[in-house]
């Protein structure tokens, strides 16, 4: 007998939907609670409270913020006590620039903070200052960085005693506001290609600075449009010769060039200054363009640490070639990259704090006839924000470590450390700023329509931070520097050379790569194994080693037909992936070390949970790579995915404590939706109710 086909009716579909909702309800049973608890703790689901770690926020915060917490608090309190210096939501370009100057001038003159001193003597303290002022207004953080890290740093790092004695005190007190004039209209990343020239005149004992064409106009120069009175101008040093050429190019050097008259504030003769205009963000920074026409400066204005010109025009240097002098010059300016990576993490902390506090507050939907639940109880919201929170912690410890290595380098001038900081700062700056830029959009979207309100800061944070991916080195260019250094280390390994500290793991992991993955461990799926730091770090390093070996093979192959440049371009995406993989390995290594060093047991347990989420989330995101080479079997891949979701859920349970440990008070985050009490009331007041 033929069976009749069953066509589901509307009533059948209603029953099916009801059953599904009933099943979901068994898993979601929220505790009824008012919108604002008096103790500011939002209630958790019963299933969540069973696995919630006890975190002592104050102890975790002390471990995170370290010894410069008091300095940052001093800055926060200074601006909190001066509402006239707080940046409003709506402000014109010109008003923002003047406010930014008054913010910096007030901070320096009224608090006694002397950033230039710390740039030289205590870099970690200086970076803590820039993080704090960046939380007040990113434009202020960048303007302060231009004055002290770039203009001041170039004088202190590229000059000699005569320059430090003459300029340092007045730079520190803001009596000498200045610029860093390296970038040109036609040349940004390729600094050796800049065209501005500084020709020595032995008759007058002066240099003549010239902009030979429009492509050589100095462009995007911070502090130039309005406030700068001096500039460190990077130009090709040309010396007169008696041969047919007439001049000899000694390479790029830096020169102190006065820009404006101190009494009238007008541009000096031969100097043309124009405003680069309104930007996507950072409109509190007055970026300008500079053209020089036969501008004469004394010979002493050459910043002569790595090369000098005598009265008779003779050139001397402790470094034998143009390339070595250029490398030494840029090496001394690497602090800018270190600072940008560190400051980018500060921006990510603010954004994740706003998004997570709002997600704990905001309630939408829920089981039938029961209260609505926090949107952070939804797996989709956890998937957006919890790995990001874990990554923020990972970045924090990685950049703190970078600052420590950089500080050691400044004290010891150890050549191995110089090379290590150069490559590591390039990679971390590129990786961190790119991730933060993407995360700012994720945070905005996670906060729905309220995230789109300017007062809740995501738009400003996103626009102001966006350029972090470009200045102090374009991120794509910086990652290529990391890849090039890895290939150099790879060559050293097979020639028996010494690897730098950060790259030591390559010796062992490359040997591991050359053997086949262990078929037994590739199937282990136990939680204890997956949460073992050794498994996690080995996986990261295995991937990097595999990418490195295959990149070397491909480059060798393509070089035969395309030449070195063509081969590099053919393999470029591979090389960028290699660089990112290496940086991820370093970040995880430093996170694991930070977990192990944490003295407080409750904080250590919380950090271990967050570290595991960071590691397994990254492995899962690239699971195809591990599957392709059977490093991870299908059952293990499934277990990693399942555990990652579970760890996100566990991190959600302590998300409030984790963002509270960043210790960003409401007057610093300044977003009504992130207020820790009466957020909606403050939000409605903001619009006039």
Residues annotated catalytic, as ranges: 472
Bridge-based pairing state of the strands 206-210 and 295-298? antiparallel
What would the two tokens of residue 643 be?
Answer: 């555990």
What would the two tokens of residue 566 be?
Answer: 């063509």
What would the two tokens of residue 48 be?
Answer: 């969540």
3 state SS for 375-437:
HHHCHHHHHHHHHHHHHHHHHHHHHHHHHHHHHHHHHHCCHHHHHHHHHHHHHHHHHHHHHHH
Residue 630 main-chain phi, psi, to 5 deg: 60, 25
- Give the integer Cα–Cα distance in Å for 618 and 530: 13
Q: Could you tell me if 156 and 172 are in contact, meaning their C-beta atoms sit under 8 angstroms apart?
A: no
* Bridge partner residues of 233 (DSSP): 181, 255
- Give the integer Cα–Cα distance in Å for 352 and 360: 12
* Residue count of the chain: 689
Classify 264 as helix, strand or coil.
Answer: coil
For residue 315, CA distances in Å to 155, 278, 295 come to 20, 42, 21
Beta strand extents in 293-378 (DSSP E only): 295-298, 308-309, 315-316
Secondary structure element (H or E) that encloses residue 288, with its range: strand 288-292
Classify 275 as helix, strand or coil.
Answer: strand
- Smallest CA-to-CA distance from 233 within 277, 265, 196, 186 is with 196
CB atoms within 10 A of CB 348: 27
**Within 13 Å and on the Cβ side, how many CA atoms surround 394?**
30
- Give the integer Cα–Cα distance in Å for 259 and 268: 6
What would the two tokens of residue 664 be?
Answer: 């960003």
- Give the integer Cα–Cα distance in Å for 652 and 658: 9
- Give the integer Cα–Cα distance in Å for 549 and 551: 5
- Give the integer Cα–Cα distance in Å for 101 and 103: 5
Bridge-based pairing state of the strands 197-201 and 271-275? unpaired
Secondary structure element (H or E) that encloses residue 254, with its range: strand 247-258
Bridge-based pairing state of the strands 218-221 and 288-292? antiparallel
- Smallest CA-to-CA distance from 196 within 231, 225, 164, 229 is with 231
Q: Could you tell me if 31 and 46 are in contact, meaning their C-beta atoms sit under 8 angstroms apart?
A: yes
């Amino acid at each position: 007998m033929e069976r009749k086909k069953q066509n589901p009716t509307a009533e059948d579909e209603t029953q099916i939907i009801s059953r599904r909702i009933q099943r979901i309800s068994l898993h979601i049973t929220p505790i009824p609670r008012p919108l604002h608890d008096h103790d500011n703790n939002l209630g958790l689901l019963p299933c969540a409270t069973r696995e919630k770690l006890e975190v002592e926020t104050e102890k975790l915060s002390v471990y995170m913020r370290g010894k410069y917490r008091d300095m940052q608090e001093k800055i926060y309190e200074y601006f909190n006590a001066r509402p006239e210096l707080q940046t409003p939501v709506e402000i014109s370009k010109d008003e923002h620039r003047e406010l930014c100057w008054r913010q910096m001038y007030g901070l320096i003159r009224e608090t006694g903070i002397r950033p230039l001193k710390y740039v030289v003597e205590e870099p970690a303290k200086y970076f803590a200052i820039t993080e704090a002022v960046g939380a007040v207004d990113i434009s202020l953080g960048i303007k302060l960085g231009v004055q002290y890290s770039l203009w001041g740093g170039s004088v202190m790092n590229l000059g000699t005693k005569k320059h430090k004695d003459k300029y340092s005190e007045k730079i520190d007190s803001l009596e000498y506001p200045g610029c860093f004039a390296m970038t040109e209209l036609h040349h940004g990343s390729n600094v050796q290609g800049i065209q501005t020239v500084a020709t020595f005149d032995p008759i007058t004992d002066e240099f003549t600075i010239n902009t030979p064409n429009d492509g050589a106009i100095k462009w995007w120069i911070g502090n130039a449009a309005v406030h700068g009175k001096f500039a460190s101008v990077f130009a090709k040093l040309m010396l007169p010769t008696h041969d047919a050429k007439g001049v000899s190019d000694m390479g790029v050097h830096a020169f102190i060039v006065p820009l404006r008259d101190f009494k009238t504030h007008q541009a000096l003769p031969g100097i043309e200054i124009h405003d680069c205009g309104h930007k996507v963000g950072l409109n509190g920074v007055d970026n300008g363009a500079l053209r020089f026409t036969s501008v004469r400066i004394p010979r002493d204005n050459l910043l002569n640490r790595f090369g000098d010109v005598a009265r008779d025009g003779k050139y001397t240097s402790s470094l034998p070639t143009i390339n070595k002098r250029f490398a030494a010059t840029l090496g001394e300016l690497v602090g800018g990259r270190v600072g940008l990576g560190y400051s980018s993490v500060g921006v990510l902390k603010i954004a994740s704090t706003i998004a997570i506090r709002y997600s704990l507050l905001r309630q939408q939907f829920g089981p039938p006839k029961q209260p609505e639940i926090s949107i952070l109880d939804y797996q989709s919201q956890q998937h957006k924000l919890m790995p990001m929170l874990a990554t923020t912690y990972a970045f924090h410890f990685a950049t703190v470590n970078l600052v420590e290595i950089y500080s050691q380098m400044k004290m010891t001038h150890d050549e191995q450390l110089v090379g290590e900081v150069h490559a590591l700062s390039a990679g971390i700056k590129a990786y961190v700023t790119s991730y933060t830029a993407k995360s700012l959009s994720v945070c905005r979207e996670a906060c729905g329509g309220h995230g789109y309100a300017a007062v809740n800061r995501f738009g400003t944070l996103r626009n102001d931070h966006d350029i972090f991916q470009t200045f102090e080195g374009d991120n794509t260019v910086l990652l290529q520097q990391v890849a090039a250094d890895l290939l150099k280390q790879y060559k050293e390994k097979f020639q028996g050379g010494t690897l730098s500290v950060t790259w030591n793991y390559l010796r062992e992991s490359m040997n591991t790569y050359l053997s086949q993955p262990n078929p037994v461990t590739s199937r282990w799926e136990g939680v204890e194994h997956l949460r073992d730091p050794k498994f996690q770090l080995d996986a990261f390093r295995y991937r990097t080693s595999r990418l490195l070996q295959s990149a070397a093979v491909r480059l060798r192959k393509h070089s035969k037909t395309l030449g070195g440049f063509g081969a590099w371009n053919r393999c470029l995406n591979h090389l960028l992936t290699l660089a990112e993989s290496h940086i991820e390995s370093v970040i995880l290594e430093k996170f694991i070390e930070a977990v192990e060093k944490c003295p407080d047991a409750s904080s250590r347990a919380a950090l271990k949970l967050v570290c595991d989420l960071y590691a397994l989330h990254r492995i899962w995101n690239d699971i195809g790579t591990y599957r392709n080479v059977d490093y991870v079997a299908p059952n293990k891949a499934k277990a990693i995915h399942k555990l990652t979701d579970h760890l996100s859920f566990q991190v959600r349970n302590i998300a409030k404590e984790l963002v509270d440990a960043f210790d960003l008070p409401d007057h610093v985050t300044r977003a009504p939706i992130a207020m820790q009490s009466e957020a909606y009331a403050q939000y409605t007041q903001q619009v006039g109710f």
